[in-house]
Amino acid sequence: MNNNFFKLKVSLLLLIILLTLITITYGAFYGANKQVGNISLSSSCFSVSFTDGESINMSGALPLSDEEGMYQKPYEFSLINNCQYDMSFKVVANVLSTSIDNSNIKFMFDSAYIGLISEEESLDEIEGFQTPKVLGTGVVKAGTKNTKKLRFWLDESTPLDKVKNKSWNAQIKIISGVSKAK
């Protein structure tokens, strides 16, 4: 009986060792799935149309007062929300090339806010943008279209020698998302 008991112990020990090896081997060689790269999501319910294209060029501009700048020809774009939800948006400018410092560039968003490009919030997460600056935000109600206006001009305190024969070029991007319920 001792011999049978010994054989049972050895068999159980071998079975435990075998199960342990199988478990360790499975865990070591099993490839866990993980995300590599970015996740992209496209939606056809929010669209933007730019009246004059998405690039802005300020070649040959002269310094203006805020009162004069507010009457410059606006850069217009329309936001169309075809979704069933209100959509929030950010208007972001990316300076493409410049020989004029951003601290000399003023803008007005939607006839309400005047600011300097250099003092606006920067965003890091926009692929392909070097120095994205948030120029304005808002909400477009479900099923509506809003036309927004941006005006750009040189600050009146900018010395002429800082802007003569120089240019400032930027691109506009609209970032949208579902508006949070209030």
pLDDT tens digits, residue range 33-47? 444 454 444 456 778
> 2 or 117: which carries more pLDDT confidence?
117
Phi, psi (degrees; rounded to nearest 5) at 19: -65, -40
pLDDT at 144: 92
pLDDT at 53: 61
> 179 or 132: which carries more pLDDT confidence?
132
Per-residue pLDDT band at 156 (split at 50, 70, 90): very high
pLDDT at 34: 46
81 pLDDT exceeds 70?
A: yes
Does 46-178 carry CATH code 2.60.120?
yes
Give the CB-side neighbour count of residue 72, counting CA atoms within 13 A.
Answer: 27
32 pLDDT exceeds 70?
A: no
When pLDDT is averaged across residues 82-105 and rounded to a whole number, the result is 85
pLDDT tens digits, residue range 119-152? 888 877 677 777 788 999 999 998 999 999 888 8
Per-residue pLDDT band at 70 (split at 50, 70, 90): confident
- Give the per-residue SS3 of the chain: CHHHHHHHHHHHHHHHHHHHHHHHHHHHHCCCCCCCCCCCCCCCCEEEEEECECEEECCCCCEECHHHHCCCCCEEEEEEECCCCCEEEEEEEEEEEECCCHHHEEEEECCCEEEEHHHCCECCCCCCCCCEEEEEEEEECCCCEEEEEEEEEEECCCCHHHCCCCCEEEEEEEEEEECCCC
Rounded mean pLDDT of the chain?
Answer: 79
Per-residue pLDDT band at 172 (split at 50, 70, 90): confident
Alpha-carbon span 168 to 131, nearest angstrom = 13
Per-residue pLDDT band at 155 (split at 50, 70, 90): very high
- Structural domain boundaries in the chain: 46-178
Asked whether the beta carbons of 148 and 80 are under 8 A apart, the reply is no
> 68 or 50: which carries more pLDDT confidence?
68
Q: What percent of the chain has pLDDT over 90?
A: 6
8 pLDDT exceeds 50?
A: yes
